[in-house]
Structure 1
Amino acid sequence: MYTRKRDAIDRNLIAALEEDARISTSELARKLGVARSTVNERIARLEREGVIMGYSAIVRPELDIQETRTLLFITCNRAHCSRIVSALESYPEIQECVTVSGNYNLMCTVRTPCSEDLDALVEEVAVIPGIMTVDTMIVLASKFARNAMISATRMAPRLQLVS
Structure 2
Amino acid sequence: MESLDRIDRDILTLLQTEGRLTGAEVGRRVGLSQPAASARIQRLEKSGVITGYRATVDPAALGLTIHAIIRLRTSHAQLPRALDLASRTPEVTSVLRVTGEDCLILDVHVPRAGRLEEIVDAFARHGPVTTSLVLNAYPPKPLRDPAVRE
Whole-angstrom distance in 2 between the partners of 1:90 and 1:5: 39
Whole-angstrom distance in 1 between the partners of 2:77 and 2:38: 44
1:134 is aligned to 129
Q: Deviations over 1:50-84 (max 9, x none)?
A: 22222222345555946111111111112342442
CA-based RMSD of the aligned residues comes to: 2.3
Range that drifts further, 61-70 or 77-86: 61-70
1:158 is aligned to none
Whole-angstrom distance in 2 between the partners of 1:50 and 1:32: 21
Equivalent position amino acid for 2:68 in 1? T
Whole-angstrom distance in 2 between the partners of 1:140 and 1:104: 21
Do the aligned partners of residues 9 and 82 (structure 1) sit closer, same or farther apart at CA in structure 2, a change above 3 Å counting? farther
Pick from 40, 44, 49 the counterpart of residue 42 of structure 1. 40
8 A Cα contact 2:73 2:101, kept in partner = yes
Equivalent position amino acid for 1:43 in 2? I
Whole-angstrom distance in 2 between the partners of 1:110 and 1:54: 22
Q: TM-score, normalised to structure 2's length? A: 0.81
**1:147 Cα shift?**
6.1
**1:24 Cα shift?**
0.8
Q: Does 1:146 align with 2:140?
A: yes
Superposed, 1:70-81 pairs within 5 Å as 70-81=68-79
5+ residue gaps, structure 1, are 149-163
Equivalent position amino acid for 1:74 in 2? L
Whole-angstrom distance in 2 between the partners of 1:8 and 1:67: 40
1:76 match: secondary structure = coil
Q: Does 1:17 align with 2:11?
A: no
Superposed, 1:86-101 pairs within 5 Å as 86-101=84-99
Q: TM-score, normalised to structure 1's length? A: 0.75
Whole-angstrom distance in 1 between the partners of 2:114 and 2:141: 27
Whole-angstrom distance in 2 between the partners of 1:76 and 1:42: 44
How many residue pairs match? The answer is 142
Q: Deviations over 1:120-163 (max 9, x none)?
A: 11112222xxx211111111123x32269xxxxxxxxxxxxxxx
**Runs of 4+ residues over 4 Å off in structure 1:** 60-64
